[in-house]
Structure 1
Amino acid sequence: MSEGRVSIAASSGERGAEPGFALAASAEMLYRDLPFLDRIKRITERGLQVEIWDWSTKDIAALAASGATFSSMTGYLRGDLTTSDGIAELLATAEQSLAIAERLDCPRLNLHGTGLGPDGLPVHPVEAVTPAMWLTAADTLRRIAELGARAGRVFTLENLNLAVDHPGTPFARAADTLALARAVDDPHLRLNLDLYHAQIGEGNLIELVREALPYVGEIQVADVPGRCEPGTGEINYPAVARALDAAGYTGVVGLEAWAQGDPDAALDAFEAAFTVG
């Protein structure tokens, strides 16, 4: 790492970070014609870290033996940030997730404003978030951060979009997740800043990453529209990459996108967009 640059990846539990970004790719969304372990192998052979979602559907022993470096995984199975039953479920399944993260040596565990169903829709949609819900959510996330601190892991709160993929999800906007991270102000609760979702919901991505960077644990990307690799839509990801580099970000950038065509070509485009220099 060059002198004077802070590695957010290192502060989130990764060791040996080098200048530039650590790149990861979602095994859930790429190489979908292959068995899951083969997807992980293909991503790993390219020198990338691997992101996974719901660990409860996976062969954990096989994942642990795969030799992959796991960047992030889903950090809960059920629950929400604001209801008594939902909070209890969230905390209980977060603890279960931490045990799996230990087996996989996965540094980051991802959260959402509420539990999502298989189609990405909230299990309990919310029309309006009240002031009381904001206070309860911040308190719940403080308890989540305490779990992360005890386990030496980081929970990341992901922003989502309401217009296309996740209508009815509370605390979905990047502005919402950033406000909650600021309120908790704990290094074990950070943002999973998803720029695909942010572009749909808010835009102004370069200013967003500059403002959010002190609270970012990981960044995820896909182009808009279509949620495919960089270069297939309207986002100037090379410009975003240069802004991240100028701001000193050396953490993980993860491709959470469908391949428009060949997955290898999609990863080529992703790597090209986030190679600065």
Structure 2
Amino acid sequence: MQRRKFLQNTIATSVGASVLPTGAFAFSNLGKAKKYPYQLKYAPHIGMFKNLAGENVLDQLNFMADQGFTAFEDNEMRKRPVAEQEAMAKVMQDRGMEMGVFVAHTIYWKEPNLTSGKKEYRDEFLKEIEASVEVAKRINAKWTTVVPGFVDLHLEHGYQTANVVESLKQAAAILEPHGITMVLEPLNFRDHPGLFLKKSAQAFEICKAVGSPSCKILFDIYHQQITEGNLIPNIEASWDEIAYFQMGDNPGRKEPTTGEINYKNIFKYIHGRRFNGILGMEHGNSQSGKEGELAVIKAYQEVDNF
């Protein structure tokens, strides 16, 4: 993914070089513009504005803050060097940005793990949850993403659900003392065929069974448009268990206004419910280069205008 390319090119030679600001940010006049007063906490990711901000991760964070974004997310944060995590956390703290989600564990895309109930998979998962607590504390994160993995075709669905719930209960016991919440992300069947967790109602049921403030739903609007549609009613029905949103338009998984989803109405509804959490911009840019990055900013200003 784009947000990892920078690390591949720089971390091997010098962690220090990758976390020091360049001083003269390559923002052109845009970086000096008045911050846009977004009504919700939209969270870009590394690489989304690399043409306008430059390759340096700290410059990119500063650029996001300059545009008025008050949050940031990074799926791969736990794989970054500690020095870089700490440097990014300092920039976010200095600029008043909240850290969104990062992925807490190894996701099994093609074989069952948590659904199987096997001890070795559960132990691996819990060990990674423990390690992610340290990452979360380092970067001041309150949320971390969990995907229960692939279905187990050898087990009835009910047994798989029970196995997942038990693993999540044990993970919640690790997270609760630290005030960290794992958010379960249902993923669509088209992009990720064969995964266990697919729908918002299923995630709602599992969260109720786990019964912990450290186990909630990540409602990804892009995925649920594909899987079930009926977006606002489903958000309303599962509202009590939703702690985090992500989005991308459909088709294409690009910024809002490029597809069929009426994001202005959805964001108006979420804002009307006084949601104070983060909405992750987990999508690509519909256009390349600086023009495409400006288009992303313009799109969010448009759909936030309600």
TM-score by length of 2: 0.74
Q: 2:80 is matched with which residue: 39, 47, 58?
A: 58
**d(CA) in 1 for partners of 2:199, 2:283:** 19
Q: 2:298 is matched with which residue: 262, 265, 268?
A: 268
SS in 1 for 2:102: strand
Which residue is equivalent to 2:188?
Answer: 161
Q: 1:81 is matched with which residue: 108, 114, 131?
A: 114
Give CA-to-partner distance per residue, 1:52-110, whole Å, 9 cap, x none.
01234323322322312311111113564233222111110011111011100111011
Amino acid at match of 1:146: A
Which residue is equivalent to 1:45?
Answer: 66
**d(CA) in 1 for partners of 2:294, 2:189:** 30
- Report how far residue 213 of structure 1 moved: 1.3
- Report how far residue 227 of structure 1 moved: 0.2
Q: 1:140 is matched with which residue: 152, 155, 167?
A: 167
CA contact (8 A) 1:210 1:247 kept: no
**d(CA) in 2 for partners of 1:41, 1:19:** 16
Q: What does residue range 199-238 of structure 1 map to in structure 2 within 5 Å?
A: 199-238=225-264
Q: 2:131 is matched with which residue: 96, 99, 111?
A: 96
- Report how far residue 20 of structure 1 moved: 4.2
- Report how far residue 267 of structure 1 moved: 2.7
Give CA-to-partner distance per residue, 1:11-59, whole Å, 9 cap, x none.
xxxxxxx99422212226x236653614333323323211101234323
- Report how far residue 191 of structure 1 moved: 0.7
CA contact (8 A) 2:186 2:220 kept: yes
Q: What does residue range 179-218 of structure 1 map to in structure 2 within 5 Å?
A: 179-218=205-244
Larger radius of gyration between Structure 1 and Structure 2: 2
**d(CA) in 2 for partners of 1:166, 1:36:** 31
**d(CA) in 1 for partners of 2:40, 2:160:** 36
- Report how far residue 275 of structure 1 moved: 4.1
**d(CA) in 2 for partners of 1:275, 1:140:** 41
SS in 2 for 1:110: strand
Q: What does residue range 108-123 of structure 1 map to in structure 2 within 5 Å?
A: 108-114=143-149
**d(CA) in 1 for partners of 2:56, 2:175:** 27
TM-score by length of 1: 0.82
Say yes or no: does 1:35 pair with 2:55.
yes
**d(CA) in 2 for partners of 1:232, 1:130:** 37
**d(CA) in 2 for partners of 1:126, 1:76:** 19
Q: 1:198 to 1:36 in 2, by over 3 A?
A: farther
Q: 2:101 is matched with which residue: 52, 55, 72?
A: 72
Amino acid at match of 1:225: P
Q: Aligned-pair RMSD on alpha carbons?
A: 2.3
Percent of paired sites with the same residue = 23
Say yes or no: does 1:178 pair with 2:204.
yes
**d(CA) in 1 for partners of 2:56, 2:214:** 29
List alignment gaps of at least 5 residues for structure 1.
Answer: 1-17, 115-123
Q: 1:179 to 1:100 in 2, by over 3 A?
A: same
**d(CA) in 2 for partners of 1:36, 1:179:** 42
Q: 1:245 is matched with which residue: 271, 292, 303?
A: 271
Amino acid at match of 2:67: R
CA contact (8 A) 1:108 1:153 kept: yes
Q: 1:136 to 1:125 in 2, by over 3 A?
A: closer
List alignment gaps of at least 5 residues for structure 2.
Answer: 1-36, 93-97
**Greater percentage in helix:** 2
Q: 1:136 to 1:267 in 2, by over 3 A?
A: same
Amino acid at match of 2:103: T
SS in 2 for 1:74: coil
**d(CA) in 1 for partners of 2:148, 2:301:** 30
Amino acid at match of 1:252: I
CA contact (8 A) 2:247 2:282 kept: yes
CA contact (8 A) 1:27 1:36 kept: no
Amino acid at match of 2:242: V
* Greater RCO (Cα-Cα under 8 Å, separation 6 or more): 1
- Report how far residue 193 of structure 1 moved: 0.5
**d(CA) in 2 for partners of 1:146, 1:271:** 40
